[in-house]
Chains A and B, each alone.
Chain A
Amino acid sequence: GENVEQHPSTLSVQEGDSAVIKCTYSDSASNYFPWYKQELGKGPQLIIDIRSNVGEKKDQRIAVTLNKTAKHFSLHITETQPEDSAVYFCAASYPGWDEKLTFGTGTRLTIIP
């Protein structure tokens, strides 16, 4: 089955700086890679996703890059703000009757004012 590794587990950056979180996946059949943000006491919420036919996607201060050959994808947050502090999860899924999201282990991002 799919295995997703995520690094780092914790990340602290100064407000206004950039943050990068990296994930690798094992199953070359995976073709969908979402990123979720989980705030304290809430459920995970999708912030951006990318499919395997695209190498990069950007949405305002958030971008995701995908390297299919190396089987890794990354989340980039620029001009970080205090409200970006949360736990971020990457995930991967492959098509099929038993499609499911396999999550990474999470990164606790802290933005230092």
Chain B
Amino acid sequence: DTAVSQTPKYLVTQMGNDKSIKCEQNLGHDTMYWYKQDSKKFLKIMFSYNNKELIINETVPNRFSPKSPDKAHLNLHINSLELGDSAVYFCASSPPGTHMNTEAFFGQGTRLTVV
């Protein structure tokens, strides 16, 4: 199936731990993103990468570190997890050309719960 896939789907962890979320897209897109959706469903961009290069970093705490080993993968590593990090994290990708001025394809989301 062609898609944006992220793992794990659910992640429950204790405060202070370090965790990673993986994302892969097989759509041939150049640009990938991480979005955070809070409990009120508000969707906010965290990072965008174009062909492995960081383009957008939306004042996200430096405990969050994205890594793009190649243009098909964008992983998110979070250090020293805090209660406020609990949210659903979405990976997305968009076709080459004009960055995000076109359709973005979202993964299924990773529900992170910090206890």
Contacts and interface: CB of A to CB of B under 8 A. Distances in A.
Interface of A: 31-32, 34, 36, 38, 41-46, 49, 87, 89, 93-103, 105-106, 108
B66 interface: no
Contacts of B4: 43
A93 B101 contact: yes
B55 A98 contact: yes
Contacts, number: 64
Given A34-B103, A49-B103, A97-B99, A42 B108 contact: yes
Contacts of B101: 31-32, 93-95, 99
B87 to A, nearest CB: 14
A87 B109 contact: no
Interface string B1-31: 0001000000000000000000000000000
Nearest to A45: B106
Given A44-B43, A44-B90, A105-B42, A98 B56 contact: yes
Interface of B: 4, 33, 40-45, 48, 55-56, 90, 92, 98-109
A108 B56 CA distance: 29
A60 B107 CA distance: 26
B2 to A, nearest CB: 14
A89 B42 CA distance: 9
Q: List the 8 shortest-distance A-B pairs measured between CB atoms, nearest first.
A: A43-B106, A99-B99, A99-B100, A103-B43, A106-B41, A32-B101, A46-B103, A44-B106
A45 to B, nearest CB: 7
Contacts of A106: 41-43
A19 to B, nearest CB: 18
A46 B104 contact: yes
